[in-house]
Structure 1
């Protein structure tokens, strides 16, 4: 039986779809989208790396195109928001050493461990820092969990499991669906809040959802971070990972076993001092510079102070290691398609005869590939009040595999935006589903997440896999082929033989979602078991 609230919601939804312009098919078409992608992923854009000529070309192109559409500058009189970044290359001058009173482990960089520092000091050292195993390193009052209860870790190095207890016990947290408390970035954040000097995460392929080679590759290069007034001294001095095999050697040296992992997944777990001290010295090469988010604004009519934000990151990896003679990482799908889509969506909204009541911000952000940095900067330095930001709709990698029967809602169950997506999908004769590996924490891996962290309901859709023409097995194989052979590789290039019919259908879906949010006084919130439900927007 419908409750009165549910009935009102359904009636308002039907009302909005009834008002939707019948010309939507003519507003969103393949031709402009194709031109946008071809430009953004051409060699002239040099792989769109921040701080490069490729960035200059990219942001200028976006500004020019948004101006042509008649969109206003999104940051007062400017289409740009400066994002101050620092590039830090950390290399061990003294490798990580783990020692007890009578035993010592000297570890090999990249093979046994990786480590870096966000501190902008030229040299950062840990000397005989006491190590403590803190289980999952989580403080989550809503789940009745505190791994740091009664523990003072100032000056100490914490050893932490990745993922969250739900991976080991489906009755805890959200079971196999990872919460943000399971994400490795959270582990570093919480350890810093607790005052730890060092943080070492225990790598496990299943728990992390990627092999050690991914960790090794990512941590062997310089890393971009947001600049901080305290030169990032609020973070732990040293952040890093230990391989699974190295961790087992450490535990054996400490007279412990991997039984600690099972203990850590039980309520009431207490941190375990290891009787081991960690030492390391890092040399940092530090460069500072400023990258740019691109913001274009369509003012609303009678509720202009309220805003809906579409985002897509413009950055990719620039020029890098040649593969088959090609050194330009063009990023056509990742994320030329997402940027092209918000441009096409922006154009469609400007062509409506009746303008939306709420305002729209179309924002292409920097630094996603380096850790969601541009969206983090906007979320912590918003141009429009977060309390008046209705929702964020994020676009990241639209695949040219043709039309699909399904729509994947990444993080399905987090917010009321799911209901709007499901209604829009039904109107296209499609169905929604969650991502296939919720234990991988995919909701926390693209730019919408930074809006969630500050309390703004946010959503991210992936292409489905149930191909209307070829079936599900074919669709899964196509996605797997992209992830294996083209993701973050120079071969991610525009192909004139792409089947764009599915992308066009998805863009119309995304338009319908934004249309409802900007024309009806709906206020999506968080689901009752979301870890973001208690965040107050400022």
Structure 2
């Protein structure tokens, strides 16, 4: 048997996988190509992309265009071929920012009006219908979750047709962290409500100390806030995190009004929430009707995804693609913090873009490309709700069913040596084995998500691919530290508080560029293993995502 394994290694010089030990042995060509990634180049890429002259890389701005030109130039130099629209490097992404005007609502219990102010309800604008009105009964639908396969359904035996559902954000405590993040995601909640015939969704605040969250529109007494969607070339909504074509209204409700409606139904907020957390649905009719109207106005803007291709070597498999993604945008210019108003986004996500350029460099130094082709995709609009990746995942510039996996890189947090990782999303598919193999090669430990309550699985671009039915993952740091205390989050937490989404996230912050190099090497190898394997990645049997694309 040993002789046969040795012979197999000679016959397949690029890669040998030992399924028992979950390790990989790489050819000298791959090893040497891995070492072409330089920490100094990672630093240089971050320094340019996070320079003040790019003014925070907001989509639709000159600074974002400078970032596009920079990455396209580098990809050209590395032998990557354009794979955007019409033979170009770009995919056009049409943003629509919608604002609410003149929202008015009343809630009645029979003929009597329920005491409420216009500020008790915050409405999200409609990106396609300028004037909306809706009337209907109110019904409480728990978390708004409908997953019979997981043994939980807030809509079971509940008639919501033509009604407006009130939900609270959350999930039963028994759900795994990534499952919780998915089912409590706003897009999922809206889709489930529409599937059951509701005409609107209102997210209720059940914390008397919390600020109103969710919808993102405005009450009559507040300043309007825009909500972004992606439109197609015919003016239809292509991607939105706050809109579903089956619904007329999406909003949030303040605690005082929620409490009043619960009391009218003879319910207690704390007791209801306790039961929901325990996994016991608590849906009920609310003895009240809502009448609501509002207008929406729009601002349109164009941005771009950058798409490059490395063609595979197998005659058939080269028609399939492994995607390496990272978002190119950041927050632009905003309110000053400590005298600085440019949100440079060095870690978020110039570091991820630098990692993708490093991956492209590794491929440029490999003569025999992997069996499958590779896409390098730099997306726009991540900071607006993963919109650019959502558009690409659902409307790709390659055949829609040809993408087999996505390895996403977002804010890899290169502030300390990379000794352990968590691969968000990998646990849902066969990609987990590829992560184990690649991490094992570098001597990196794979750990569970150290911050499950942060819902990080749904907060970056890999989630766009997952809901489109494509297995995907996002590698983040684990807990291991060089001193053996294994408390990396004790360093990350204060660092994040100082730098995350602040102008202080520039090249002068805390960095470990060798860790940046390791991230690029690790993510390359994960993608390379997928590209070399004749078997396509598959969802785990019975997994929440195994039944196909969400929303299809």
TM-score range (shorter-chain normalised) is: 0.7 to 0.9
Report the counterpart of residue 72 of structure 2 in structure 1. Answer: 63
Report the counterpart of residue 223 of structure 1 in structure 2. Answer: 227
Q: For the structure 1 residues 218 and 37, does the alpha-carbon distance in structure 2 shift closer, same or farther, using more than 3 Å as the test?
A: farther
Instruction: State how 1:9-408 maps to structure 2 within 5 Å.
Output: 10=19, 14=23, 17=26, 21-75=30-84, 76-94=86-104, 96-101=105-110, 102-107=112-117, 109=119, 112-127=120-135, 129-149=136-156, 151-164=158-171, 166-167=172-173, 170=174, 173-174=175-176, 178=180, 180-203=182-205, 212=211, 221-227=225-231, 229-230=235-236, 234-258=245-269, 259-262=271-274, 264=276, 269=281, 271-302=283-314, 303-408=317-422
Q: For the structure 1 residues 460 and 15, does the alpha-carbon distance in structure 2 shift closer, same or farther, using more than 3 Å as the test?
A: closer
- Structure 1 gaps of 5+ residues are 1-6
> Within the alignment, does 1:454 sit opposite 2:458 as a pair?
no
SS at match of 2:319: strand
Contact 2:24 2:441 in 1 (8 A): no
Alpha-carbon distance between aligned partners in 2 of 1:50 and 1:9, rounded to the nearest angstrom: 45
Q: For the structure 1 residues 530 and 19, does the alpha-carbon distance in structure 2 shift closer, same or farther, using more than 3 Å as the test?
A: farther
Alpha-carbon distance between aligned partners in 2 of 1:494 and 1:97, rounded to the nearest angstrom: 51
How far did residue 268 of structure 1 move?
8.1
How far did residue 241 of structure 1 move?
2.0
Report the counterpart of residue 519 of structure 2 in structure 1. Answer: 506
How far did residue 436 of structure 1 move?
2.1
Q: Which moved more, 1:154-163 or 1:366-375?
A: 154-163
How far did residue 222 of structure 1 move?
0.8
Report the counterpart of residue 3 of structure 1 in structure 2. Answer: none
Contact 1:392 1:456 in 2 (8 A): yes
Alpha-carbon distance between aligned partners in 1 of 2:285 and 2:549, rounded to the nearest angstrom: 36
SS at match of 1:292: strand
SS at match of 1:527: coil
Contact 1:91 1:116 in 2 (8 A): no
SS at match of 1:455: coil
Contact 1:425 1:431 in 2 (8 A): yes
How far did residue 361 of structure 1 move?
0.3
Report the counterpart of residue 13 of structure 2 in structure 1. Answer: none
Q: For the structure 1 residues 48 and 536, does the alpha-carbon distance in structure 2 shift closer, same or farther, using more than 3 Å as the test?
A: closer
How far did residue 265 of structure 1 move?
6.1
SS at match of 1:70: coil
Q: For the structure 1 residues 443 and 496, does the alpha-carbon distance in structure 2 shift closer, same or farther, using more than 3 Å as the test?
A: closer
Alpha-carbon distance between aligned partners in 1 of 2:268 and 2:286, rounded to the nearest angstrom: 11
Q: For the structure 1 residues 224 and 427, does the alpha-carbon distance in structure 2 shift closer, same or farther, using more than 3 Å as the test?
A: same
Alpha-carbon distance between aligned partners in 2 of 1:56 and 1:351, rounded to the nearest angstrom: 28
Q: For the structure 1 residues 275 and 230, does the alpha-carbon distance in structure 2 shift closer, same or farther, using more than 3 Å as the test?
A: farther
How far did residue 448 of structure 1 move?
0.8
Q: How many residues align?
A: 519
Alpha-carbon distance between aligned partners in 1 of 2:73 and 2:96, rounded to the nearest angstrom: 28
SS at match of 1:23: helix
SS at match of 2:428: coil
Report the counterpart of residue 518 of structure 1 in structure 2. Answer: 531
SS at match of 1:491: coil
Contact 1:176 1:439 in 2 (8 A): no
Alpha-carbon distance between aligned partners in 2 of 1:176 and 1:337, rounded to the nearest angstrom: 24
- Structure 2 gaps of 5+ residues are 1-15, 219-223, 238-242
